[in-house]
Amino acid sequence: MDPEDFKRMVERHYEALYKFALSLTRAEADACDLTQQTFYVWATKGHQLQEFSKAKAWLFTTLHRVFLETRRRHTRFPHHDLDELPMEDSLTFSPNLANVLDSSQVLSALAKVDPVYQAAVALFYLEDFSYQEIGEILKIPLGTVKSRIARGVVQLRQLLGVAPERSPKAGEIPNGVAG
């Protein structure tokens, strides 16, 4: 790959990959390492991608795979955890409910969501991937993507102390609507 093309790829996708890595690792240093490792894999294997339009999904898939492999390795060979920087000092996450919350609160709460649901929620809300794209990145069926996002959002709302949204019952006037 041409060095200028590689530089443009990094400039275009680094921040989004870093945010996703941070949501998975909960530590800035680990997120940096994971993002750099993803671009290393791109530098060595990216040329194999036949449709360049799918590069973003390829990068996110690779980052998730590297994360899972790293987590498996740490489980088999535990070592001393590095000090983590507080989530308040990290990048922001702001789904629709964040208009009443500080974005650092939302990111901090996202870090506490069950890891099974966390990746799907982060890809959906941080990166605006479709359900189909998330399924491809995480290698899970579409129904599983939807349920993980739904359950992850429930956990996120609970952690934030935000009541779940509900649809008004038949004949009921929605909150905030004058009758």
pTM tops 0.75, yes or no: no
**What CATH number labels 92-162?**
1.10.10.10
Structure tokens of 159? 């952690």
Report yes or no: 12 and 54 within 8 Å, Cβ to Cβ: no
* Whether pLDDT at 99 is above 60: no
The residue ranges of every structural domain in the chain are 1-75, 92-162
Q: Which amino acid is at 50?
A: Q
The region that residue 169 occupies, defined by phi over 0 for left and psi between -120 and 50 for alpha, beta otherwise, is: beta
- Interval 103-161: pLDDT, tens: 677 778 888 898 889 999 999 988 889 999 999 999 999 989 999 999 999 998 888 88
- Interval 8-65: pLDDT, tens: 989 999 999 999 999 888 888 889 999 999 999 998 888 888 888 889 999 999 999 9
Which residues, including other chains, have CB under 8 Å from residue 104's CB and lie 6 or more apart? 87, 88, 90, 92
Please state, in angstroms and rounded to a whole number, the distance separating the CA atoms of residues 73 and 39.
20
5-38 per-residue burial string, b: 16 or more CB within 10 A, e: under 16: eeeebbeebbebbbbbbbbbbbbbebbeebbebb
Please state, in angstroms and rounded to a whole number, the distance separating the CA atoms of residues 177 and 21.
41
Structure tokens of 130? 């479709």
Q: How confident is the model at residue 163 (pLDDT cuts 50, 70, 90)?
A: low
- Tell me which fold the domain 1-75 belongs to: Rna Polymerase Sigma Factor; Chain: A (1.10.1740)
